[in-house]
């Protein structure tokens, strides 16, 4: 039992209808104390008046006015789902038929994918051997060229060095050929100038 008048926050607890552990002694005090009972009653009058206040209604076109300025946002996954749902038939037999057709289409697609996969494997093997054969032809042509340009001894050295030797020999050959072509061009230019000067 509380032997003093209630504090304002304690009166609030009672007015708010709190049911906590500490509220029982407050209630007991109020039952014994007319002064505190009067304060609680006064506070309740205000709360009751507030709780009876009505809600006001906005104008009847309020919702339409709001919706005119709201952008209804549909996420892509919902749009996609809705599109799919539109394709699904409504009647049960049509749904079953669509299901069977879907399964058939999936099976055909799977078989076709498998077949293409196997063919790709074959294609890889064929193209691999073609590339190997082409490389052999190029190497043999280059060897022939090196042999013709630098003689059998140089060819034996290049063969001994392997692919790198062949590449080096090809570069030397290309540089030599370019030099020779440029030299011949210069000679031709010089002789034509001389002829023009005469």
Q: Which residues bind another protein (CB under 8 A)?
A: 8-9, 12, 15, 42-43, 45-47, 49-51, 53-59, 62-63, 65-67, 69-75, 78-79
Q: Which is nearer to another protein, 19 or 198 (CB)?
A: 19
Q: Which is nearer to another protein, 59 or 91 (CB)?
A: 59
CA distance 35 to 190: 132
CA distance 24 to 111: 79
Least separation in angstroms between CB 92 and another protein: 19
Strand locations in the chain (E): none
Q: Which is nearer to another protein, 11 or 146 (CB)?
A: 11
Least separation in angstroms between CB 2 and another protein: 19
Least separation in angstroms between CB 41 and another protein: 11
Least separation in angstroms between CB 94 and another protein: 20
Q: Which is nearer to another protein, 21 or 56 (CB)?
A: 56
CA angle (164, 147, 174) in 5-degree steps: 60
CA distance 18 to 29: 15
CA distance 17 to 8: 14
- 146 in Cβ contact with 158 (< 8 Å): yes
């Amino acid at each position: 039992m509380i032997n003093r008048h209630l504090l304002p926050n304690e009166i609030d607890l009672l007015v708010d209808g709190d049911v906590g552990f500490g509220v029982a002694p407050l209630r007991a005090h109020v039952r014994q104390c007319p002064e505190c009972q009067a304060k609680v009653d006064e506070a309740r009058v205000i709360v009751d008046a507030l709780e009876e206040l009505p809600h006001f209604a906005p104008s009847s076109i309020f919702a339409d006015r709001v919706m005119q300025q709201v952008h209804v946002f549909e996420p892509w996954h919902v749009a996609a789902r809705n599109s799919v749902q539109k394709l699904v038939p409504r009647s049960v037999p049509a749904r079953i038929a669509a299901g069977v057709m879907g399964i058939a289409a999936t099976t055909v697609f799977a078989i076709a994918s498998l077949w293409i996969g196997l063919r790709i494997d074959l294609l890889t093997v064929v193209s691999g051997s073609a590339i190997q054969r082409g490389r052999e032809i190029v190497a043999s042509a280059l060897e022939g060229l090196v042999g013709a340009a630098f003689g059998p001894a140089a060819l034996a050295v290049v063969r001994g060095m392997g692919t790198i030797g062949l590449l080096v020999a090809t570069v030397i050959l290309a540089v030599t050929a370019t030099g020779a072509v440029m030299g011949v061009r210069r000679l031709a230019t010089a002789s034509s100038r001389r002829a023009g000067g005469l």
